[in-house]
Amino acid sequence: MDHSIPLSLYLLLSLPLSLLLFFLLHSSRPRGLRLPPGSLGLPLIGETLQLISAYKSENPEPFIDNRVARFGPLFTTHVFGEPTVFSAEPDTNRFILQNEGKLFESSYPSSILNLVGRHSLLVMKGSLHRRMHSLTMSFANFAIIRDHLLGDLDRLVCRNFDGWTDRVLLMDEAKKITFELTVKQLMSLDPCEWTENLRKEYMLLIEGFFTIPSPLFSTTYRRAIHARRKVEEALRRVVRERRRESERGERKKDMLEALLEEEGRGGGRFSDEEIVDFLLALLVAGYETTSTTMTLAVKFLTETPLALAQLKEEHDEIRVKKGELEALEWNDYKSMPFTQCVVNETLRLGSIISGVFRRAMTDVDVKGYTIPKGWKVFASLRAVHLDHDNFKDARSFDPWRWQTNSGSTNSLNFFTPFGGGPRRCPGAELARGLSSQYSFTTFVTRFSWVPAEEDKLVFFPTTRTQKRYPIIVQRRESIEKPTAKNAAEKLAPEKRHRHGTLLPWRSEGFRVGSNARRGQHVHHSAS
């Protein structure tokens, strides 16, 4: 996180207010309630700086790993200006997600809310949220994907891939493809200079999601707010033009048209501001999830040669049947079982959505503790995915675990890459199935590649590679029909796994820190 003034000066200037808020907070802390163990950290800023600095390491869950080892899988902390209970326990996460609107409600840090807008799907509640969630899902269902998006995706992917020569930054290229597809799906706009300029502003906007929400103290947040204004104005111009088109009787089959026709609160039409916020948040969601999944899948496969060989064979067999130039159809993608295993494992290990924030609507009893009314909770999806109690060798890439479900007798119960409950990501099938699978299926069949240089994963503010994953690409020659099964298929699952590449997170120190087991922790009361 960048600071426009030194951190020491920031703390000095905020000290009087910090002390006042600190004493108010501690004097108003719930009495007589058994809070989850933990620490509230420093006045005002709590443990926010520890959280941000921790996630700039290669360890995917350093902040949570450390506190789970000390306090257990349910602990109290203070981040982004509020006391927050973190959960790294699957049953508690499921309880939180399933009780949306009953015991918990959506509540995100102000740094996020200020950037996505107060009318985004992220903060909608009640019947309006249910209606708009359903509307969003209707534009990402199987029929829409099969009948409309497949053709758009094929054109966009081929258009971008045709320009690839020698060295490319895969993460940048993947983000460009998914952003162009999302803009097309939402507003029927083809790629052009306008869409590329909009994408560059989005990159700045997203960087501000988890910073101190003050333009005075964070240059990152100041840039994000400025980018937000530019994105808002660009989208507002599109909305105004589409309203004029609608008045002339011109209609398009996209999300914007549905929003123009949908009734908002009170029965009237949505305002321009409401539509802009809604579109802005959907663009953020579509931009990050799919592109990151594609990039991480390629990175993980590159580091696990046997998995890459088996994936190539699966794709090549289908490509030989279809012919070099014939576009793949919906049924072709449904007949790629190992590819889906790779997607699942990438979603689990990468955990692009690290977790979800909620706020307790009343005092909530969980696992012998009480979460006070008004407190935030964070259900960590990533912590569950990377827990060795839930998945065997949880921090290594093993797509074969999804063929036999051998990683755990109950793995699917722990696998929640898109959240759950009424707020489960409405574009989950699009991101999980078509976009990720299609993009890297086309990539694998067209190119061979090697990493241009070593690159590492970082997990803050979003999951990404540090150098945007630079690779050297070379177009593959015509695909010949395979004559024998790949050697990987002849290996037993445990032997295949033994040949797989362990990710760089698996250092000795990290393994020790992440292997703490529930019930073996020294509990301390929250302070």
- Dist. CA 39–CA 164, nearest whole Å: 50
84: three-class secondary structure by DSSP:
strand
Structure tokens at 438: 């299609």
CB 47 within 8 A of CB 15: no
Buried b (16+ CB within 10 A) or exposed e, 263-283: ebeeeeebeeebbbbbbbbbb
Contacts (Cβ under 8 Å, ≥6 apart) of 179:
195, 199, 202, 283, 286, 287, 291
- Please indicate if the annotation marks 341 as binding a ligand: no
252: three-class secondary structure by DSSP:
coil
Beta pairing partners, 78: 83
CB 104 within 8 A of CB 55: no
Determine how many CB atoms are found less than 10 A away from the CB of residue 10.
18
- Dist. CA 160–CA 93, nearest whole Å: 39
Q: Do β-strands 166-169 and 470-475 pair in parallel, antiparallel, or remain unpaired?
A: antiparallel
Amino acid (1-letter code) at residue 196: E
CB 48 within 8 A of CB 221: no
What are the φ/ψ torsions at residue 179 (nearest 5 degrees)?
A: -65, -45
Buried b (16+ CB within 10 A) or exposed e, 428-442: bbbbbbbbbbbbbbb
- Dist. CA 401–CA 415, nearest whole Å: 12
Beta pairing partners, 86: 75, 378
Helix and strand tally (H, E) in the chain? 24, 12
- Binding residues, by number, are 425
- Binding residues for heme, by number, are 425
